[in-house]
Structure 1
Amino acid sequence: MAETGRGAYGGRSRRRHPGRHVAGPHGGSRQGGCRERGQGRGEPLMRKSLIFFLKIGILVAAAVWLAQRPGRVTIEWLEHVVEMPVGIGAILVLLAAWIAASIARLWRILRNGPGAFGRSRNARRREGGFRALAQGWVAASAGDADIATKSAKAAEKLLREPSLTLPLSARAAELRGDAVASASAYKAMLSKPATELAARRALLTQAMERGDRPAALDHARRALELRPKADWPAKALAELEAGGGNWLEADAALVKAQKVKALPKDDAGHRRAALLIEEARKAMATGRPDQALQSAQAAFDLDPARVPAATLLARLLAKAGKHAKAVKVLEQAWRQSPHPDLAKVWGEASADQNPLTLVKRYEALVALKPGQADAHFALAEAAINAKLWGVARSHLDKVRELAPTTRAYRRLADVARAEKGEGPEVQAFLNQAMSAPADPRWRCTSCGTSHSDWHAVCDECGAVDAITWPKVGKA
């Protein structure tokens, strides 16, 4: 009987009870798991055993059948006669068949051996090549230039498939800072249809970094030809054309991208509006008012909430004597995006420039969308021009409530000076202006540069359609 006690190493042994299962690390039964694995290995063994015994049974049955039917076999060949029992003859026939089968098998091995060896060797090489390729991309993702370079060389040697290894070689060269090797690898990728688009994108980026605009344009155009439905070639081409002041060419690229649905309709429309505004400005500067009006109208139709489009179109309409249409454009834009530029053009678009008339017009602007600091400030400006000091002060106080920036205090100082002359009140407003938040300005979202006017291209960083107006309100 086994009893609980000390084992040979001083450990405590336990009595094993029949039917008890020891829990494994994952909560299962180790005994059950071993049994399942044993059963899995035992099934093929049992099948082989059955086939073996079946063969033995067939041989025994054949031997018994021959033993019950005795006889002799005579073989006569040339002058030789050989006689033997039937059983011996059957054994010799089986032996001859086995020898023939073995010779045939050996011949197949000798004939196919070199090819099979080559295939096996190639399979091992490809497996090693793909392993090196995967390791290289992991290293490249981690920024490890040394391992990425070594893996790329190993993959090139083992795979000998440039379409697979060149991208890794180019990326490894970029990580090393070797621009020449990187460009060489990308140029080699241009000859492979599978890698040409990726190479075009990389070479375009490199060309833009070194300021080679013609090369960048060429890569963008060719990439768009390769994949008309890809979004990045259309965006890149539009930005490059816009950067060179080719507004219509940039717009054509966006139109093509929109037609093939490479860009969402709203995104393409927003970008096109920016380009058409600049084209309208260019037409005005070159004495083509009809073309300017057409481009400005197209920009406003694409993006009615864009302030530069509305102000430009309203000015052109007012200049053409279409004051009512200009006001409608401004009203539509103001309801969506109130802005000081819109408020300024609101007065310019009036056919009657009498100061008192303009005060009435700005009262209408205040009523159009109440609670807008820009409208109250524009009305205060009109009241100052009309020398209505009380009205001006009232609306400047409203501006202080809504958006207390520098402009409100400076104009309050002007009103106090006009009413009472220089004094402590004027100085108090100027002191408040110095500590108040700065007035908002157009700002590039790409580089952070502030601009006094909106432009489609930031003259500091070259970003296209990146200049926006910040929202300002009382903190």
Structure 2
Amino acid sequence: MFSRIVKYIVLLLVLVAIGIWFAENPGHVSIEWQGLIVDVPIILALIATLIIIGVCALIYRAWLFMRRSPKAFGSYRKEQRTHKGYDALTKGMVAVAAGDTQEARKHARKADSLLEDPSLTMLLSAQAAQLEGDDKAATRFFDEMSQTKGMEFLGLRGLLNQAISRGDNEEALKLAKQMYRLKPKTEWLSRNLFELQLEKAQWAEAENTLAGLIKNKQVDGDKGIRQKAVLMVERAKQAEAENQMEAAIKLLGQALKLDSTLIPAAQELARLLAKTNKTRKAINVIEEMWMRNPHPALYDLYQDLQGEPDALKRVRLAEKLAGKYRQHVESRVIIARAALEAQLWGEARDELETLLIEAPSARVYALMAELVETENGDLSGAREWLRKATEAPSNPAWVCDSCGDVSARWTAVCPKCQGFDTQKWQTPPQASVAQIEHQTEANKPVIV
């Protein structure tokens, strides 16, 4: 503010100084034209000159205004149309959110007629068509968007949602792959793509997608490593089906390096090693896994690999394996089973009595029933133990954490809810004796 006042004062002083100078130094300006001579004081000549310049400037400005008026008016009209177009676009979006089909359609048409850029109105038009149930029109709009620069991802997403809603997972997977190439760091897309690849048993592709999720920290590191190991087990099964035994064995070995407690990986690796005449290595795999995570299916496979027909020697084998983790429930169970087969009643009873105290379950009561019946021929006593088995905690099984489905065999994807890596070896909430017996039989591996 102060600087402006100073400028005005300085300008006034300059004008005053000029006026004084002209007053002290008077003069005339003579103009001769066509015999006419005009003499005027110099100060008047300067004022006249300034007036002429001002008039010329006004005329020039008026000419520019007239020249630019059509363009300016056109720009104004265009701006008004754009404003009305955006207003219609906004109201259309609100109508879509509110589920008002007629309003959405009306504003979509209005926006399309007012806005010159169709990419701004295609989404509204597509959503309005979806709201109206016109899937063909919606597909047409989304398809146009997928081929419009800058709108490809949005168009593909609309097509993806439509494919999923009509259950066309083949098309959904194809679209998800296209979208993933455009934006590989989009979390919801990566997860959808991963699920679709799992459904189609594309294990290698799913592993690549999982690697992206881990890299972008969109999945917990430990969980991601576990899931990668699970995928490798499925890839190994696929490789075995294609008679690529060495590749399958390598994949299972890598899976165990990622997760040393993954029972299915150890079970499959031991089976394939035995199948390729590497029985000693197969036995080592089972023994190493037993030290970390004992499982009855591993014991069954262990005995099958030994091929020992003598019941007493089978007891010694059971004790050898159980010695890797002697206090575990499964170690006591396998000794009791082997002792019963060899009719070593005392050894079987010792293990079962300990189990009845530490970890009672339906299978323990069933083994007690077998012991009572085979040792003493006590059928009434055996029936009593079987009755207790029906009331006891269920036998361990593969139980889905998501839906609670109980399965005798492990699978990477739950057969009921399609959850990935959700099966855990644990005691299910309820199970009948028939289920228990079925699971026991189904868990026995077969070497071919």
Moved more, 253-262 or 371-380: 253-262
Q: 1:379 to 1:106 in 2, by over 3 A?
A: farther
Report the alpha carbon displacement of residue 80 of structure 1 after superposing the two structures with TM. Answer: 3.0
Report the alpha carbon displacement of residue 271 of structure 1 after superposing the two structures with TM. Answer: 4.5
* Match of residue 99, structure 2, among 134, 142, 145: 145
The code of the aligned residue for 1:449 comes to D
Q: 1:182 to 1:340 in 2, by over 3 A?
A: farther
The code of the aligned residue for 1:145 comes to G
Note the alpha carbon deviations across 1:377-429, whole angstroms, 9 max, x for none.
Answer: 22222222222233333333444445443322232233233334446654543
- 1:307 and 2:263 correspond: yes
- 1:223 and 2:179 correspond: yes
- The answer for the alignment partner of 1:317 in structure 2 is 273
- 1:373 and 2:329 correspond: yes
- 1:450 and 2:409 correspond: no
CA contact (8 A) 2:394 2:427 kept: no
Q: 1:117 to 1:262 in 2, by over 3 A?
A: farther
Report the alpha carbon displacement of residue 311 of structure 1 after superposing the two structures with TM. Answer: 0.5
Q: 1:197 to 1:269 in 2, by over 3 A?
A: farther
The code of the aligned residue for 2:287 comes to E
* Match of residue 163, structure 2, among 189, 207, 210: 207
The code of the aligned residue for 1:316 comes to L
Q: 1:232 to 1:429 in 2, by over 3 A?
A: same
Q: How many angstroms apart in 2 are the aligned matches of 1:358 and 1:121?
A: 95
CA contact (8 A) 1:442 1:467 kept: no
Report the alpha carbon displacement of residue 215 of structure 1 after superposing the two structures with TM. Answer: 1.7
CA contact (8 A) 1:173 1:181 kept: yes
* Match of residue 43, structure 2, among 67, 87, 91: 87
Report the alpha carbon displacement of residue 273 of structure 1 after superposing the two structures with TM. Answer: 4.1
Q: 1:384 to 1:186 in 2, by over 3 A?
A: farther
Q: 1:126 to 1:279 in 2, by over 3 A?
A: same
CA contact (8 A) 1:409 1:432 kept: yes
CA contact (8 A) 1:443 1:450 kept: yes
- SS, match of residue 192 in structure 1: coil
% identical equivalent positions: 33
Report the alpha carbon displacement of residue 367 of structure 1 after superposing the two structures with TM. Answer: 3.4
- 1:344 and 2:297 correspond: no
**Superposition pairs of residues 281-300 of structure 1, within 5 angstroms:** 281=237, 293=249, 296-297=252-253, 299-300=255-256
Q: How many angstroms apart in 2 are the aligned matches of 1:136 and 1:353?
A: 79
- TM-score, normalising length: structure 1: 0.71
Report the alpha carbon displacement of residue 314 of structure 1 after superposing the two structures with TM. Answer: 0.9
Report the alpha carbon displacement of residue 190 of structure 1 after superposing the two structures with TM. Answer: 0.7
- SS, match of residue 469 in structure 1: strand
Q: How many angstroms apart in 2 are the aligned matches of 1:185 and 1:157?
A: 16
CA contact (8 A) 1:278 1:456 kept: yes
Aligned residues: 424
Gaps of 5+ in 1: 1-42
- TM-score, normalising length: structure 2: 0.75
- The answer for the alignment partner of 1:254 in structure 2 is 207
- SS, match of residue 349 in structure 1: helix
CA contact (8 A) 1:344 1:378 kept: no
CA contact (8 A) 2:32 2:38 kept: yes
- The answer for the alignment partner of 1:10 in structure 2 is none
Q: How many angstroms apart in 2 are the aligned matches of 1:367 and 1:304?
A: 19
- The answer for the alignment partner of 2:421 in structure 1 is 466
**Superposition pairs of residues 94-105 of structure 1, within 5 angstroms:** 94-105=50-61
Q: How many angstroms apart in 1 are the aligned matches of 2:326 and 2:117?
A: 69
Q: 1:430 to 1:256 in 2, by over 3 A?
A: closer
CA contact (8 A) 2:414 2:423 kept: no
CA contact (8 A) 2:270 2:283 kept: yes
- 1:70 and 2:23 correspond: no
Q: 1:443 to 1:193 in 2, by over 3 A?
A: farther
CA contact (8 A) 2:93 2:104 kept: no
CA contact (8 A) 1:318 1:349 kept: yes
- 1:329 and 2:282 correspond: no
Q: 1:268 to 1:230 in 2, by over 3 A?
A: farther
CA contact (8 A) 1:167 1:185 kept: yes
- 1:190 and 2:146 correspond: yes
- The answer for the alignment partner of 1:28 in structure 2 is none
Gaps of 5+ in 2: 430-448
Note the alpha carbon deviations across 1:197-225, whole angstroms, 9 max, x for none.
Answer: 34334433432442324322322343344
CA contact (8 A) 1:186 1:199 kept: yes
Q: How many angstroms apart in 1 are the aligned matches of 2:74 and 2:395?
A: 77
Report the alpha carbon displacement of residue 307 of structure 1 after superposing the two structures with TM. Answer: 1.6
CA contact (8 A) 2:108 2:121 kept: yes
The code of the aligned residue for 2:98 comes to D
Q: How many angstroms apart in 2 are the aligned matches of 1:390 and 1:179?
A: 74
CA contact (8 A) 2:198 2:206 kept: no
CA contact (8 A) 2:394 2:428 kept: no
Note the alpha carbon deviations across 1:252-295, whole angstroms, 9 max, x for none.
Answer: 56348749986778777645544443454456567775665455
Note the alpha carbon deviations across 1:308-349, whole angstroms, 9 max, x for none.
Answer: 111111122234443331132223333444433334333333
Report the alpha carbon displacement of residue 438 of structure 1 after superposing the two structures with TM. Answer: 2.7
Moved more, 194-203 or 423-432: 423-432
